[in-house]
């Protein structure tokens, strides 16, 4: 049976798709990139905002409309928080909640009476890796979160923390590396909480991966800036652990952070950033910011803006706050007007672009190893414009001759000048 996998939302959702793809293939089924050619379609939905839930519903309807003959399985946060609604959508054959995600493949096969092809009908070494090309893969290391930030619905949808064992993770990375994967990205709902249920921590996992695999690049996904182990920072002296962290700040105002029930004050956040930048030159810190959280006064906004500017970030994901039923923040007083939120969002976007450009300029002249992707743009003279990423997650572009391939290769280039949204390298 041909199976198509689709996701909305976070990197964790993408990592889960990779796991399902391999499990389906080991059961004798084939993965297809064409939804219209599939006999089974699995959607990993999102509900981090009301807009994400709406997009999940739209995607389910569109997928069924485009391929009404395919059996349709829906999982993810939208399907978990709105199980009856998701199950009632036209074309949905099976809803698998987050707590049962590990059994999604088995449930799909058994409950939908899927006819399994002979086990040798698919190449056992062939994996999907359709989300990020063949050079990097997301690795789910844990699920769930013990904390309850007042704006977050994901902790409700994902449940309590559950960590995968070090052995299972190491084995998965080794298998992917054998198939040509060059970079592994560790993901989780609360990545910093890895091992809280196993008596170990994130540093233990990273050390084991560096010792027991030969994957050239190890990168960390979004990491809450608290509970970092004492020996965490020194791990970045190993050149295989990439010098980039996405540390969600959410606000640069301590009073807003208290209302959000965040567990890291601005002073503590600054100390983490300073330590990373002192330990590793050109370390890239990126972040998330929520604009217009309930009760955010003009002074709090100015304090937040000033702290963000003072800290400096390589990139900012900017979210305009929207009420999310089921969260504590939805019932907080003094909700901010849409006009004010839009104004503050515009201000922050301008600042974010300025800081990103400044970080680009700080890296000009450096010679850094770039992992090149398969994506390229043909030029008029027959050459190709190719793209890749430095260890500190700067997007780099270069020009190569026609007929030459650099996909999944890593080599040093000099970062020479600024492009539109990338740095141009001398190849």
Same domain, 89 and 111: yes
Same domain, 48 and 114: yes
The answer to whether position 395 is within a domain reads: yes
Q: Which of 190, 221, 242 is the last residue of a domain?
A: 242
The predicted pLDDT at position 122 comes to 33
CATH of the domain at 183: 3.30.750.210
φ/ψ (deg, to 5) at 140 = -75, 120
Same domain, 87 and 160: no
Same domain, 58 and 108: yes
Contact 3, 42 (CB under 8 A): yes
Instruction: Round to the nearest angstrom and report the end-to-end CA distance of the chain.
Output: 44
402: tokens are 């026609």
The answer to whether position 261 is within a domain reads: no
Confidence at 115, pLDDT banded by 50, 70, 90 = low
Contact 194, 205 (CB under 8 A): yes
Same domain, 284 and 348: yes
Residues 325-373: pLDDT tens digits? Answer: 889 999 999 999 999 999 999 999 999 999 999 999 999 999 999 999 9
The answer to whether position 371 is within a domain reads: yes
Residue 63 has pLDDT above 60, yes or no: yes
The answer to whether position 126 is within a domain reads: no
The answer to whether position 211 is within a domain reads: yes
Q: Which of 121, 147, 181 is the last residue of a domain?
A: 121
Same domain, 230 and 308: no
Whole-angstrom distance, CA of residue 273 vs CA of residue 290 = 19
Print the domain residue range for 42.
2-121
Same domain, 354 and 373: no
CATH of the domain at 30: 3.40.50.12160
Residues 227-273: pLDDT tens digits? Answer: 888 899 999 999 999 999 999 999 999 999 999 999 999 999 999 99
Average pLDDT over residues 210-225: 96
The predicted pLDDT at position 323 comes to 87
Average pLDDT over residues 168-178: 94
Residue 62 has pLDDT above 90, yes or no: yes
Same domain, 40 and 77: yes
Same domain, 37 and 87: yes
Q: Which of 219, 242, 265 is the last residue of a domain?
A: 242
Residues 33-50: pLDDT tens digits? Answer: 888 989 999 999 998 888
Strands 40-45 and 71-76: parallel
φ/ψ (deg, to 5) at 340 = -65, -40
CATH of the domain at 311: 3.30.750.200
Residues 137-159: pLDDT tens digits? Answer: 899 999 999 898 999 988 778 88
Same domain, 76 and 96: yes
Average pLDDT over residues 283-292: 97
φ/ψ (deg, to 5) at 6 = -135, 145
Looking at every residue in the chain, the average pLDDT score rounds to: 91
Confidence at 117, pLDDT banded by 50, 70, 90 = very low
The answer to whether position 104 is within a domain reads: yes
Same domain, 60 and 98: yes
The answer to whether position 401 is within a domain reads: yes
Same domain, 114 and 138: no
Whole-angstrom distance, CA of residue 130 vs CA of residue 91 = 25
Residue 185 has pLDDT above 90, yes or no: yes
Total count of domains within the chain: 4
The predicted pLDDT at position 207 comes to 98
The answer to whether position 254 is within a domain reads: no
The SS3 call for residue 377 is strand
Whole-angstrom distance, CA of residue 384 vs CA of residue 225 = 40
Give the pTM: 0.82
The predicted pLDDT at position 70 comes to 92
């Amino acid at each position: 049976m041909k199976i198509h996998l689709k996701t909305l939302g976070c990197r964790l959702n993408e990592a889960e798709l990779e796991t399902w793809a391999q499990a389906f293939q080991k059961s004798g089924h084939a993965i297809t990139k064409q939804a219209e050619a599939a006999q089974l379609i699995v959607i990993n939905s999102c509900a981090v905002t009301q807009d994400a839930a709406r997009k999940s519903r739209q995607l389910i309807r569109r997928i069924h409309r485009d391929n009404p003959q395919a059996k349709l399985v829906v999982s993810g946060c939208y399907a978990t928080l709105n199980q009856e609604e998701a199950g009632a959508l036209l074309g949905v054959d099976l809803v698998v909640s987050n707590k049962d995600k590990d059994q999604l493949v088995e449930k799909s096969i058994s409950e939908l009476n899927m006819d399994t092809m002979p086990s040798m009908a698919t190449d056992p070494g062939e994996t999907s890796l359709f989300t990020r090309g063949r050079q990097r893969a997301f690795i789910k290391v844990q699920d769930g979160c013990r904390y309850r930030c007042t704006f977050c619905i994901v902790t409700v949808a994902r449940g309590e923390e559950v960590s995968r064992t070090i052995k299972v993770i190491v084995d998965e990375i080794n298998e992917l590396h054998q198939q040509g994967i060059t970079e592994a990205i560790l993901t989780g709902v609360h990545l910093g909480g890895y091992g809280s249920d196993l008596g170990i921590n994130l540093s233990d996992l990273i050390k084991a991966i560096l010792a027991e695999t030969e994957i050239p690049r190890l990168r960390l996904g979004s990491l809450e800036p608290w509970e970092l182990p004492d020996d965490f920072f020194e791990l970045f002296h190993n050149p295989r652990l990439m010098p980039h962290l996405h540390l969600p700040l959410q606000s640069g105002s301590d009073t807003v952070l208290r209302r959000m029930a965040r567990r890291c004050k601005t002073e503590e956040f600054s100390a983490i950033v300073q330590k990373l930048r002192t330990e590793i030159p050109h370390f890239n810190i990126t972040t998330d910011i929520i604009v217009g959280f309930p009760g955010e006064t003009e002074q709090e906004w100015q304090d937040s803006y000033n702290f963000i500017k003072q800290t400096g970030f390589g990139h900012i994901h900017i979210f305009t706050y929207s009420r999310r039923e089921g969260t504590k923040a939805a019932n907080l007083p003094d909700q901010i007007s849409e006009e004010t939120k839009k104004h503050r969002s515009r201000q922050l976007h301008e600042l974010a672009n300025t800081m990103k450009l400044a970080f680009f300029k700080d890296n000009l002249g450096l010679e850094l190893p770039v992992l090149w992707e398969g994506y390229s743009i043909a030029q008029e003279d027959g050459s190709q414009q190719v793209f890749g990423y430095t260890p500190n997650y700067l997007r780099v572009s270069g020009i190569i001759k026609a007929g030459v391939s650099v996909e999944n290769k890593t080599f040093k280039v000099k970062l020479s000048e600024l492009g539109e949204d990338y740095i141009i390298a001398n190849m």
